[in-house]
Structure 1
Amino acid sequence: MTNERRVLIHADKPALTASVAARFLTKTVDLLDEFEVAHVVLTGGSVGIGVLEAINASSARDTIDWSRMHFWWGDERFVPAGDPERNEGQARAALLDHIAVPAGNVHVMAAADEGLDLDAAAVAYADELRRYAPEGGDWPRFDITFLGVGPDGHVASLFPDRGEVGAKDGAVLPVRDSPKPPPERITLTRGALNSSDRVWLVLAGPDKASALGLGLAGASFHEVPVAGIKGRKRTVFFVDQEAAAEVPENLISSSY
């Protein structure tokens, strides 16, 4: 198995989310055949949440033993619990509230009204990751990490030309004065994201084309953070036709 980046192009957003959902369900069956549990990192955004909705709508949804799945987040908005901006709430409504996953297997980042300040909330999530890590590690074996990509090339809450994207140590960082609201966030580091066996980036729309093209063409990850993201085994960009407008031809793949 290689760790090369590949781009799979879909006709439109509905075809994209349905395809990723089907691949996720198939891969999850394989993972649970191989491992006792599987760890998945979720993302927000319209396409990321659309994938979760498509998983929920699939006739194959209940073939998965969800009790053996653990869900994490790549980043979260540090706003009060119940705020519609929180990735957690969106993911619960799209999928997690509809499947038989134990509450303890859904590992949420703290909300702003739960008694922790931003720094303490980041430390608490790092501690939670460490609880499920192999001995001596800082985070679990991530089997699949979902990520979106912003028009500026940001992934999770790692934004261009900011210190967080270049941080080399640790699993979790607090983010202040985010260039995209809300201003306070919690994010996994690039090292934690890149530790995943498989990174699946899902994105759609013409506003993503430039960032995707630059990221795949070798831009600096400080300037285009997605350029610095690569899974240990596979890195796949699931995109629609509009987002693929500037993808180098040699990276386009006809199959997974």
Structure 2
Amino acid sequence: MTNERRVLVHPDKGSLAGSVAARFITKLLDILDTQAVAHVVLTGGSMGGTVLAAVGASPAHTSIDWSRVHFWWGDERWLPAGDAERNDEQARVAFLGELDIPDGNTHPFPASDSGLELDAAAEVYAAELASHGVDGLAHPLFDITFLGVGPDGHIASLFPHRSDIQVVDRTVIPVRNSPKPPPERLSLTRPVLNSSQRVWFVLAGADKASALGLALAGASRDEVPVAGIKGRRRTVFFVDADAASEVPESLIARDY
């Protein structure tokens, strides 16, 4: 097995979303052929929702036994439950709300109206992760982790030039004074993300080109957090042509 980074370029956002959705369904089928359940980490942002909507639009999604899939999130905005800006709500609208799966299969972060303070909410989600831990891990063995990338290179709610990317002794952290609104958030930490079997970055748009180019060129994770994330088995950047404009030709894969 290899854990080298690969870049797959698609002509536009529509073909990008459709391709990632098709690969997701195919890979889930493979995973569920060999194990009882799959654990998937979802991301927010426009492409996160677009990919989920493409999964739902694909007739092939009915071939998955979704009751055997657990959904988690890489980060969340500290907003009330049901708020349209929450990542879990966007995922529900895009696709998850259509699935007939046990309530215990979706694992949203606590909401700001849950009665918890931000630090306590981080501890609650850490406990939820630990309750599904395997092989001595304080979290599930994630099979596929989706991540978006901000124009500044941030992933989840781990932003450049902040100490959050350096945290290694916790699975979940509270984030305050975020440079991107809202100011309060919850996020998985770098070691948890890096424990994922497969990390799939999905990014589109010319504003992402610089961050992607820097990450692939070996930038510091403190300056470009995406540079510090790598799956145990495979790391794939699914991008559109605009986002790939600063990727060296030698790093672009011709097939999966």
Are the equivalent residues in 2 in contact too, given 1:157–1:187 (CA < 8 A)? yes
Residues of 2 paired with 1:15 and 1:44: CA distance? 19
Q: Counterparts of 1:195-234 in structure 2 under 5 Å?
A: 195-234=195-234
More divergent stretch after superposition (77-86 vs 174-183): 77-86
Partner of 1:179: 179
Residues of 2 paired with 1:92 and 1:248: CA distance? 37
Residues of 2 paired with 1:142 and 1:254: CA distance? 26
Residues of 1 paired with 2:126 and 2:249: CA distance? 39
Alignment length (residue pairs): 256
Partner of 1:188: 188
Residues of 1 paired with 2:251 and 2:133: CA distance? 33
Partner of 1:159: 159
Partner of 2:118: 118
Matched, 1:141 2:146: no
Q: Report the CA distance between 1:249 and its aligned residue.
A: 1.9
Q: Report the CA distance between 1:123 and its aligned residue.
A: 0.4
SS at match of 1:60: helix
- Residues 16-54 of structure 1 deviation map (CA, whole Å, 9 limit, x = unaligned): 000000000000000000110000000000011100000
Partner of 2:37: 37
Identity %: 66
Task: Give the TM-score normalised by the residue count of structure 2.
Answer: 0.99
Question: Which residue identity does 2:187 align to in structure 1?
Answer: T
Tell me, which stretches of 5 or more residues in structure 1 are unaligned?
none
Partner of 1:7: 7
Residues of 1 paired with 2:101 and 2:245: CA distance? 38
Q: Report the CA distance between 1:84 and its aligned residue.
A: 1.1
Residues of 1 paired with 2:35 and 2:135: CA distance? 17
Question: Which residue identity does 2:14 align to in structure 1?
Answer: P
Q: Report the CA distance between 1:158 and its aligned residue.
A: 0.3
Residues of 1 paired with 2:14 and 2:218: CA distance? 29
SS at match of 1:182: coil
Question: Which residue identity does 2:171 align to in structure 1?
Answer: A
Alignment RMSD:
0.7
Q: Report the CA distance between 1:135 and its aligned residue.
A: 4.9
SS at match of 2:213: helix
Residues of 1 paired with 2:5 and 2:114: CA distance? 39
Are the equivalent residues in 2 in contact too, given 1:42–1:146 (CA < 8 A)? yes
Q: Report the CA distance between 1:101 and its aligned residue.
A: 1.9
Residues of 2 paired with 1:114 and 1:228: CA distance? 32
Are the equivalent residues in 2 in contact too, given 1:138–1:170 (CA < 8 A)? no
